[in-house]
């Protein structure tokens, strides 16, 4: 994996990498991905992906406000650099 | 004669009228009578909707119920199994760094919405899907920095996505109004556009007439009133037509709409488009909808606005326009039905509702604070039909009753709005007017009927608008004839 | 006196006979923890723990005997892995990012432990956000192995495992996403239970990989593991993936375990050459011991086992890349000093998020890649498809075996600093533990001997979903005199 590609991923993930990290990660990620290439050999035709282990079904919450305000956060506005 | 036709698709976000947020027990909206702007910043937040580490979403049953209700009202297929996904991007008002939404399998599939254009012509626009998702918070720019308010974060939304098959701004506006009527009618959304509870993104592209492929599409984001949506689309069609006619090509981008300049402006180009890295939300198992639940929701669905509109046209002989407006909200229908119970005649009443009452409601943006009652409407219609008040006075009375809630009879008295039908008074005013305009009077006498209007107007003016215009005309004709 | 006690039940007996008081018991743990050089704890709650111990003492004095039904953990000093939220107390996840973070709420398990009367001694060290197998990825330094100071304690729940093994806590909670409870338990010579996915609420467990994460238990005895499981388990309305069921009921029947019906599954594709010879031998002897007691041995094929590490890491990293997006410095957590002066949003995020350690950054990058446009189907989605195949392999195994026996790790605790330059090699060492997480199955790491150098070795049992009872019955039966 090229350092250019690493830089693009880092930007997408909002990570800032030093030159040293970028070079190191590039080799390591390349090694990991090439080891994982074996996945491409597995026949997966018609196999539904498994995203949730177990057999859990969605349990829904009733639309009732909580009893107390103890969980409420007491904070003012969060301050960040300009969004515009 | 344009060589291009527009292709318009709308994505509408409706805030669901649940008590709590979609994934936590925080209030989804301020207490009754309190404006969103008056809730202290971040007051309506908890560790879950503020995205604290370790917190997990738990889906609100009522939000699912409302989404299904909307789907059924719009004739959508209801998917017995649907899935939530994460849409990943960084923004300060998105606490978790991803939005929980539905991607590959939304709760509702294909449906359709039928509605009338202002001309009375009927249209049906197909709906692609309705999915459930959480709203983001709000960032406000303050001087050198921005401030984030998460009161809105996690408020439940449905996004109703139409097929791209509308052709004009007017058609898109009519679709939007009809959709607004449906979601407010079935009470899944309060429809308040000022507070952002019903907002629209429009996808607009142009293609040569007769082409089947779509042109490059521009998304106009977050326009918050019917009128602005129509204007934004109209402007966007004009802008793209000009580009194409001059041989240029439209850039794929996201644009905003500036109502002050009545123009759209570029917000984000394609090259800056996000890679959202959608994947199934591991914190929420598949949502399964038991058929019995869907059937239950279906059985509780009321007669829909379009069905009632057809019935009013058929049974009461209302014009298509009036019937459409009367059935555009539950509030108007309630006034209509109750005023009829109180003896108002349906056509005159529909006229009043479609005219002054809906104008006023639009202007105020809310029925909250209105003191107008059905009895007011019934009384105004009766007075109007008995010619005891003028049409102008009727409008005034509705405005006064909206504010004060006083009885119509008292208001007429108090404001002196009774129509003057006393012949002697009218004759006295007419004589004064004749004395002031002798030349015109002699023209009338020589057969120039057009001037009847002039004299009627002058008498009305003298009476302060209170004179009965029909009677004045009668008097003028009698005087000319004698 | 204390050395003779192995279970919470025995401690309660000692409380009841007034041979031991909750206050002195807790004080002893705190003193040892304060003196310890293992770096097992990141935070000790000395005052808070003593207050809880005094409260336990009051209850004991009032009731006369330990009310074991109402307060099954009365006066028991426990440690929590520092990725479990405890309201108002520093919860770091082993990350600089959360060095001063105090959550506004407590994890469901933590609330349950405290309601059961437990004393929370402190929060234990871990690989940053649970990402690692040696505890060397902690921003606060590695945990030292309790008996071999040049060795790692394992990870990512290394602090919890070392604390229990070194008697700095009676028992501890950890979390297991791909072996993070079982492997350090094996390295330190204690029991490590990874329950069925959803058995214990994840609410308040800071997520690493949501579809794989489980809260796990590090204990000295199967009885304690069972008791802790009974307190921690049971449906939770704050976690939609928690199983909506009653808490685990410990087996109190006293019926002896029936070895003769037990079918022991072993995987055909694990060759001993693949393992450290002493580990291979210990696991083989363990199997022989069980067969000697009456169990039968079945060799099973796991056609997709060789893919487990790739599947696990692609899914875990993809989920992690998303789960860790919330660490953006906006609402909580530390903002790097440079972030405060950032003039634009992107710069702000990058400065804040550069506080992640190398392993976390590496995994976020890989996970971002696995989900990115154009690669998602070939990597993330395909991994999820093969995950299904791995789960099916287990399903068919259960028709021929009741429980599977596997090594926990291919070797015993390795030397500090020995592995951190080769992430791939670290990942591959997880090959025996990740399958249970992929399929959501319960698994137990049991001590099964030591190397010639005296390093503990663990063996792993995996059972069908919901069969923690089977795992714990076997572990309990192995401690009876007949099984020695």
Q: What is the pLDDT of residues B170-196, one digit of tens each?
A: 999 999 999 999 999 999 999 988 889
Burial C299-334 (b: 16+ CB within 10 A, else e): ebebebbebbbbbbbbbbbbbbbbbbbbbbbbbbbb
Task: Cite the beta strand spans of C138-268 per DSSP E.
Answer: 171-176, 191-194, 214-219, 263-267
Mark residue C100 as left, alpha or beta (left: phi above 0; alpha: psi -120 to 50; beta: remaining): alpha
Read off the pLDDT band of C329 (50, 70, 90). very high
Q: Which residues contact A43 (CB under 8 A, 6 or more apart)?
A: none
Residue C3 pLDDT greater than 70, yes or no: no
Residue B66 pLDDT greater than 80, yes or no: yes
Read off the pLDDT band of C342 (50, 70, 90). confident
Task: For residue B269, give how far its alpha carbon lies from the nearest alpha carbon of chain C (Å).
Answer: 17
Residue B1 pLDDT greater than 50, yes or no: no
In 10 A of CB C460, how many CB atoms?
Answer: 28
Backbone phi and psi for residue C182, each to the nearest 5 degrees, phi listed first = -65, -45
pLDDT at C188: 98
Q: How far apart are CA B31 and CA B61, in angstroms?
A: 21
pLDDT at A84: 64
Q: How far apart are CA B345 and CA B348, in angstroms?
A: 6
Residue C207 pLDDT greater than 70, yes or no: yes
pLDDT-above-90 percentage for chain A: 64
What is the DSSP annotation of C270-302?
--GGGS-HHHHHHHHHHHHHHHHHT-EEEEE--
Q: How far apart are CA C437 and CA C430, in angstroms?
A: 11
Q: Which residue of C has its CA nearest to A21?
A: C358
pLDDT at C74: 98
Residue B111: CA count within 13 A, CB half-sphere:
25
**Residue B144 to residue A82, Cβ atoms within 8 A:** yes
Read off the pLDDT band of A55 (50, 70, 90). low
pLDDT tens-digit series, residues C372-428: 999 999 999 999 999 999 999 999 999 999 999 999 999 999 999 998 788 999 999
pLDDT tens-digit series, residues B401-425: 999 999 998 998 888 888 877 888 8
Mean pLDDT of B446-465: 85
Chain A residues whose CB is inside 8 A of the C338 CB are none
Task: Cite the beta strand spans of C75-142 per DSSP E.
Answer: 77-81, 119-124
pLDDT at B161: 98
With H, G, I as helix, E, B as strand and everything else as coil, classify residue C372: coil
Q: Does C423 touch chain A (CB under 8 A)?
A: yes
Give the closest of B92, B282, B285 to C319, CB-based.
B282
With H, G, I as helix, E, B as strand and everything else as coil, classify residue B320: helix
pLDDT at B382: 92
In 10 A of CB B326, how many CB atoms?
Answer: 28
CB distance B198 to B366 below 8 Å: no
CB distance C220 to C3 below 8 Å: no
pLDDT-above-70 percentage for chain B: 98
Read off the pLDDT band of B449 (50, 70, 90). confident
Least confident residue range of C60-74, C337-351, C372-386: C337-351
CA dihedral (B249, B252, B254, B256) in degrees, to 10, reads 10
CB distance B8 to B203 below 8 Å: yes
With H, G, I as helix, E, B as strand and everything else as coil, classify residue C140: coil
Least confident residue range of B29-33, B313-317, C132-136: B29-33
Mean of the per-residue pLDDT values of chain A: 89
Look at residues C329, C427, C339 and name the one whose alpha carbon lies nearest to residue C132.
Answer: C427
pLDDT tens-digit series, residues B10-48: 999 999 999 999 999 999 999 888 888 899 999 999 999
- Give me B395's structure tokens: 């409008």
Residue B240 pLDDT greater than 60, yes or no: yes
Task: For residue A84, give how far its alpha carbon lies from the nearest alpha carbon of chain B (Å).
Answer: 7
**Residue B53 to residue C372, Cβ atoms within 8 A:** no
With H, G, I as helix, E, B as strand and everything else as coil, classify residue C149: coil
pLDDT at B336: 93
CB distance C178 to C434 below 8 Å: yes
**Residue C376 to residue B279, Cβ atoms within 8 A:** yes
Residue B91 pLDDT greater than 90, yes or no: yes
- DSSP type of residue C378: I
Q: Where is pLDDT greater, at C186 or B360? A: C186
Task: For residue B208, give how far its alpha carbon lies from the nearest alpha carbon of chain C (Å).
Answer: 31
List the strands of the sheet with B111-116, edge to edge.
Answer: B111-116, B122-134, B156-162, B4-15, B198-208, B218-223, B253-258, B263-269
Mean pLDDT of B381-402: 88
Mark residue B10 as left, alpha or beta (left: phi above 0; alpha: psi -120 to 50; beta: remaining): beta
Q: Does A58 touch chain B (CB under 8 A)?
A: yes
Give the closest of C244, C361, C385 to A49, CB-based.
C385
Q: Does B363 touch chain C (CB under 8 A)?
A: no
**Residue A32 to residue C243, Cβ atoms within 8 A:** no
- Strand C214-219 with B198-208, pairing: unpaired
Q: How far apart are CA C119 and CA B432, in angstroms?
A: 100
Please identify which of the residues C36, C106, C156, C203 carries the catalytic annotation: C156
Q: How far apart are CA C145 and CA B76, in angstroms?
A: 61
Residue carrying structure tokens 């393992």: C275
C201 catalytic? Reply is: no
Q: How far apart are CA C121 and CA C49, in angstroms?
A: 5
Q: How far apart are CA C363 and CA C427, in angstroms?
A: 11
**Residue B285 to residue A56, Cβ atoms within 8 A:** yes
pLDDT at C192: 98
Look at residues C341, C333, C335 and name the one whose alpha carbon lies nearest to residue B144.
Answer: C341
In 10 A of CB B385, how many CB atoms?
Answer: 12
Q: Which residues contact B224 (CB under 8 A, 6 or more apart)?
A: B193, B194, B196, B199, B200
Query: Using alpha carbons only, what angle is made at residue A71 by residues B26 and C239, rounded to the nearest 5 degrees?
Result: 75
C296 catalytic? Reply is: no
pLDDT at B259: 86
Look at residues C193, C177, C212, C207 and name the one whose alpha carbon lies nearest to residue C83.
Answer: C207
Give the total residue count for chain A: 84
pLDDT tens-digit series, residues B356-369: 888 888 787 677 67
CB distance B58 to C238 below 8 Å: yes
pLDDT at B272: 63
Mean pLDDT of C430-443: 98
Mean of the per-residue pLDDT values of chain B: 91
Query: Using alpha carbons only, what angle is made at residue C116 by residues C111 and C117, rounded to the nearest 5 degrees?
Result: 100
Residue carrying structure tokens 């850039």: B251
Q: Does C440 touch chain A (CB under 8 A)?
A: yes
pLDDT tens-digit series, residues C12-66: 999 999 999 999 999 999 999 999 999 999 999 999 999 999 999 999 999 999 9
Q: Does C89 touch chain B (CB under 8 A)?
A: no
Please identify which of the residues C81, C194, C199, C351 carries the catalytic annotation: C81
Q: Which residue of B has its CA nearest to A74?
A: B43
Burial C57-71 (b: 16+ CB within 10 A, else e): bebbeeeeebebeeb
Give helix C222-232 / helix C8-16 axis angle, nearest 10°: 90
What is the DSSP annotation of C351-363?
HHHTTS-HHHHHH
Q: Write out the H or E segment, with its range, that includes residue A78.
A: strand A78-80
Q: How far apart are CA C467 and CA C352, in angstroms?
A: 43
With H, G, I as helix, E, B as strand and everything else as coil, classify residue C236: coil
- DSSP type of residue B108: B
Q: Does A73 touch chain B (CB under 8 A)?
A: yes
Mean pLDDT of B318-339: 88
Mark residue C87 as left, alpha or beta (left: phi above 0; alpha: psi -120 to 50; beta: remaining): beta
CB distance C273 to C392 below 8 Å: no
ipTM entry = 0.96
Q: Where is pLDDT greater, at C270 or B135? A: B135
Chain A residues whose CB is inside 8 A of the B61 CB are 60-63
Residue B216: CA count within 13 A, CB half-sphere:
13
> How far from chain centre, in Å, is Cα B197?
11
- Give me B470's structure tokens: 């029909």
């Amino acid at each position: 994996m090229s350092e250019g590609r690493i830089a693009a991923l880092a930007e997408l993930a909002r990570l800032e990498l030093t030159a040293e990290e970028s070079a190191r990660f590039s080799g390591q990620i390349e090694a990991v991905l090439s080891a994982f290439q074996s996945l491409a050999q597995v026949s997966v035709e018609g196999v539904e992906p498994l995203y949730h282990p177990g057999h859990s079904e969605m349990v829904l919450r009733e639309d009732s406000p909580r009893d107390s305000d103890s969980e409420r956060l007491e904070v003012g506005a969060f301050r960040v650099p300009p969004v515009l | 004669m344009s060589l291009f036709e527009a292709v318009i698709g709308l994505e509408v976000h409706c805030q669901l009228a649940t008590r709590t947020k979609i994934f936590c027990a925080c209030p989804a909206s301020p207490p009754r009578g309190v404006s969103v702007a008056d809730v202290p910043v971040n007051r309506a937040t908890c560790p879950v909707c503020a995205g604290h580490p370790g917190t997990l979403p738990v889906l609100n049953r009522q939000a699912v119920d409302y989404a299904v209700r909307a789907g059924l009202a719009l004739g959508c297929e209801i998917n017995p199994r649907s899935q939530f996904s994460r849409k990943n991007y960084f923004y300060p008002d998105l606490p978790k760094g991803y939005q929980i939404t539905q991607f590959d399998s939304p709760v509702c599939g294909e449906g359709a919405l039928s509605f009338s254009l202002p001309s009375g012509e009927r249209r049906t626009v197909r709906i692609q899907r309705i999915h459930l998702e959480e709203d983001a918070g709000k960032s406000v720019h303050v001087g050198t920095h921005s401030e984030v308010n998460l009161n809105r974060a996690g408020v439940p939304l449905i996004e109703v996505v139409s097929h791209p098959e509308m052709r004009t701004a007017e058609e898109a506006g009519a679709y939007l109004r009809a959709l607004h009527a449906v979601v407010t009618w079935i009470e899944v959304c309060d429809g308040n556009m000022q507070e952002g509870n019903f907002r629209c993104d429009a996808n607009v592209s142009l293609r040569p007439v007769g082409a089947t492929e779509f042109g490059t599409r521009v998304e106009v984001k977050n326009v918050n009133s019917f009128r602005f949506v129509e204007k934004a689309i109209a402007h966007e069609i004009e802008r793209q037509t000009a580009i194409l006619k001059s041989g240029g090509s439209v850039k794929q981008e996201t644009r905003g709409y500036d109502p002050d300049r009545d123009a759209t402006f570029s917000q984000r180009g394609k090259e800056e488009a996000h890679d959202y890295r959608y994947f199934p939300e591991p914190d929420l198992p598949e949502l399964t909808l038991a058929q019995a639940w869907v059937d239950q929701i279906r059985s509780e669905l009321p007669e829909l606005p379009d069905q009632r509109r057809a019935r009013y046209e058929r049974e009461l002989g209302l014009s298509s326009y009036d019937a459409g407006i009367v059935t555009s909200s539950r509030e108007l229908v309630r006034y209509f039905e109750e005023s009829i119970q109180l003896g108002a005649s349906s056509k005159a009443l529909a006229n009043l509702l479609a005219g002054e009452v809906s104008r006023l409601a639009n202007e105020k943006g809310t029925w909250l604070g209105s003191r107008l009652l059905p009895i007011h409407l019934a009384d105004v219609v009766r007075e109007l039909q008995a010619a005891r008040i003028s049409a102008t006075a009727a409008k005034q009375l509705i405005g006064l009753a909206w504010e004060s809630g006083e009885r119509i009879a008292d208001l007429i008295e108090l404001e002196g709005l009774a129509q003057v039908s006393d012949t002697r008074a009218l004759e006295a005013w007419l004589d004064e007017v004749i004395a002031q305009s002798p030349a015109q009077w002699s023209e009338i006498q020589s057969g120039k009927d057009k001037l009847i209007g002039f004299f009627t107007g002058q008498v009305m003016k003298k009476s302060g608008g209170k004179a009965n215009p029909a009677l004045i005309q009668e008097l003028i004709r009698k005087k000319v004839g004698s | 006196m204390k050395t003779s006690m192995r279970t919470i039940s025995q401690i309660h007996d000692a409380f009841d006979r007034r041979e031991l008081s909750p206050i002195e018991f807790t004080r002893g743990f705190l003193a040892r923890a304060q003196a310890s050089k293992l770096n097992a704890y990141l935070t000790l709650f000395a005052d808070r723990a003593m207050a809880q111990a005094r409260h336990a003492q009051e209850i004991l004095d009032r009731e006369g005997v330990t009310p074991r039904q109402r307060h099954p953990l009365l006066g028991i000093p426990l440690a929590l892995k520092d990725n479990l939220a405890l309201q108002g107390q520093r919860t770091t996840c082993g990350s600089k990012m959360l060095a001063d973070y105090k959550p506004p709420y407590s994890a469901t398990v933590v609330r349950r432990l405290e309601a059961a009367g437990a004393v929370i001694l402190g929060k234990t060290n871990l690989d940053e956000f649970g990402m690692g197998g040696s505890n060397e990825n902690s921003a606060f330094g590695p945990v030292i192995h309790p008996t071999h100071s040049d060795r790692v304690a394992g990870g990512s729940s290394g602090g919890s495992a070392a604390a229990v093994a070194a008697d700095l806590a009676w028992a501890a909670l950890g979390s297991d996403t791909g072996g993070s409870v079982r492997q350090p338990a094996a390295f330190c010579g204690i029991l490590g239970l990874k329950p069925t996915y959803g058995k214990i609420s994840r609410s308040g467990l800071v997520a690493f990989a949501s579809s794989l994460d489980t809260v796990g238990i590090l204990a000295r005895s199967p009885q304690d593991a069972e008791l802790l499981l009974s307190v921690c388990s049971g449906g939770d309305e704050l976690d939609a993936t928690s199983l909506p069921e009653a808490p685990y009921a410990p087996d109190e029947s006293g019926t002896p375990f029936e070895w003769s019906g037990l079918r022991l599954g072993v995987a055909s594709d694990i060759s001993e050459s693949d393992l450290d010879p002493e580990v291979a031998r210990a696991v083989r002897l363990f199997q022989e011991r069980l067969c000697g007691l009456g169990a039968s041995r079945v060799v099973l094929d796991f056609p997709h086992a060789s893919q487990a590490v790739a599947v696990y890491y692609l899914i875990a990293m993809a989920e992690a890349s998303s789960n860790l997006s919330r660490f953006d410095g906006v609402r909580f957590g530390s903002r790097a000093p440079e972030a405060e002066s950032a003039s634009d949003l992107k710069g702000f995020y990058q400065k804040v998020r550069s506080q992640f350690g190398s392993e976390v950054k590496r995994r976020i990058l890989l996970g971002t890649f696995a989900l990115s446009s154009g690669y998602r189907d070939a990597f993330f989605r395909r991994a999820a498809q093969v995950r299904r195949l791995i789960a099916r392999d287990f399903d068919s195994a259960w028709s021929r075996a009741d429980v599977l026996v596997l090594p926990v790790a291919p070797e015993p605790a390795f030397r500090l600093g020995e592995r951190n330059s080769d992430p791939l090699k670290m990942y591959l060492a997880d090959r025996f533990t990740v399958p249970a997480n992929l399929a959501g199955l319960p698994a137990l790491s049991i001590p099964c001997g030591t190397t010639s150098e005296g390093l503990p070795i663990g063996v792993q049992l995996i059972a069908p979903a919901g069969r923690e009872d089977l795992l714990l019955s076997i572990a309990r039966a192995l401690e009876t005199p007949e099984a020695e």
